[in-house]
Amino acid sequence: MADTPVLVWFRQDLRLTDNPALSVASAIGAPIIPLYVLDDETPGNLRMGGASRWWLDHSLVALDTSLRQIGSELVLRRGAAERELARLLEETGARSVYWNRCYEPFAVARDTRIKQFLSDKGIDVHSFNAALLFEPWEIETKAGDPYKVFTPFWRACLNAPPRPDPLPPPAELICPDEFPKGDRLKDWDLSPTQPNWAAEFEDEWYPGEDAALALLDDFLERRVTDYATGRDRPDKRLTSRLSPYLHFGEIGPRQIWHAVDRKQPGADKFLSEIGWREFCYHLLFHFPSIPAENLRPAFDDFPWRDDPDGLRAWQQGKTGYPIVDAGMRELWRTGWMHNRVRMISASFLIKDLLIDWRLGEAWFRDTLVDADLANNACGWQWVAGSGADAAPFFRIFNPVTQGQKFDPDGVYVRRFVPEIASLPDKWIHRPWDAPDQVLTEAGVILNDTYPAPIVDHASARTRALEAFKSIKSD
């Protein structure tokens, strides 16, 4: 039945290149119906955050454009995925569904359910791996357990059989006689309007597969060489900035793996970051409670403070610590934050303010364009010290030292905290120590034009160590 159409359900794989579900489906020679479902209904689904929705809005346009170039188009549906799939199968007479796997606990449960439900109706389901180098069940210790330490995990990945070459995009997709009707993207209201808090996103980001490939090329050509050292400098643009593309699958790790020349300086360091992403996905698969529960149960007794004012100051970038505030404002203005500054600001929330990492995780998840359950939850638990292969709790970042070390000329701080931009370099990371005259000349009035520190770091550090003493041992 070559005329019976086939559904290709896009989820976090919004690309044509190296997309096994799409490639295998298109090779059948049957008409293809590409589908995206916005599911805010199924219980248990963490509603996609605001920044991610903005990204998705643009990505779906890009995907639709790419599909049209090969003779197809994207069908949009909104609602519980299970119901929308059933409807579309009914409408089109399709007898099979192709998708690439998701690994978030909710998605695993949903897909398992749907697979069963469709099989019962005699519908074939074919699932593939597009998001990872290895399936989470493929990498295990000699004892057959999942790795909980990064270094041996990554070594095992590097020693595993080479990854298959990325698949080329299909040259052409066969259209069904009639495309099923879909929603209009703009009716989904994925981007903010009043107020348009994403205005600056437009200058910063170009979602979509083409942009992802161009960015990777540019990174490998110009920036990877300095990556090993430069990656820690938020004042420079030396990181790949591929994270949102990776999250939505506009590029996949296999493509990166094969594009990188490992002989190049910086290449291994960069690939190991892809390794951390892989590690986080595997951890989330094996320990699905990671977004909600401490991986180390000892932390369940940690005396977190209830401090709504502190949380708000942190969220708004008004802590009085310039490097923290710059990071939090970069996040708000651009939907992204440099990794080094993520660590500094997370350390500040957890250790200086003693606020539960889960509140930080939730804020990042809502405001990052690259919000990714696996990376975000593991990252926060890493900083908190409650996670796998985590930083010890007593590693407490000093926001002044970190600022001076990684933003030595204050370029980053001045970009995002303009009200202190006129301060000399010497005081840019600690305005409260500047002589009155210097502050006056720079037009800075503490607690007026810019906050005084909401906590004293030295005493906050002592307080954090005391709090940690009270829990101890798993």
Partner DNA sequence: TGAAATGTTGGGGCG
Partner DNA sequence: ACGCCCCAACATTTC
Query: Of the listed 73, 188, 339, 419, which one is catalytic?
Result: 339
Do residues 387 and 279 touch, judged by C-beta distance below 8 A? no
Provide, rounded to whole angstroms, the least separation between the CB of residue 12 and DNA: 22
Q: Which is nearer to DNA, 69 or 459 (CB)?
A: 459
Minimal distance in Å, beta carbon 177 to DNA? 51
CA distances from 195 to 199, 326, 328, 334 (A): 9, 22, 19, 15
Residue 225 CB, shortest distance to DNA, in Å, is 19
Report which of 46, 41, 45, 73 is spatially closest to residue 60, judged by C-alpha positions.
73
398 is catalytic: no
Nearer to DNA, 129 or 375 (CB): 375
Smallest gap from Cβ 296 to DNA, in A, equals 17
C-beta of 229: minimal distance to DNA in Å? 12
* Peptide bond just before 162 cis, omega within 30 deg: no
73 is written with which tokens?
A: 């188009």
Q: How many CA atoms lie within 13 A of 305 on its CB side?
A: 17
Is 304 a residue of the active site?
Answer: yes
Q: Which is nearer to DNA, 143 or 458 (CB)?
A: 458
Q: Which candidate in 54, 55, 99, 380 is catalytic?
A: 380
CB of 340 to DNA, least distance (A): 7
* 276 included as an active-site residue: yes
Those residues whose C-beta lies under 8 Å from the C-beta of residue 190, and which sit 6 or more positions away, are: 53, 54, 56, 57
CA dist., res. 172 & res. 448, Å (int): 61
Residue type, 316: Q
Q: Are 277 and 95 in contact (CB under 8 A)?
A: no
Residues that bind DNA (CB under 7 A): 150, 232, 273, 276, 339-340, 343, 391-392, 394-398, 401-402, 405, 457-458, 461, 465, 469
175 or 391: CB nearest DNA = 391
Pick from 255, 244, 189, 186: nearest CA to 216? 255
What is the per-residue burial (b if ≥16 Cβ within 10 Å, else e) of 215-244? bbeebbeebbeebeebbbbbbbebbbbbbb
Whichever of 213 and 267 has its CB closer to DNA, that residue is 267
Q: Are 207 and 238 in contact (CB under 8 A)?
A: no
- Exactly one of 138, 276, 419, 432 is catalytic; which is it? 276
Q: Given the complex with DNA, which of 57 and 232 has the nearer CB atom?
A: 232
Residues recognised as catalytic: 273, 276, 304, 339, 357, 380
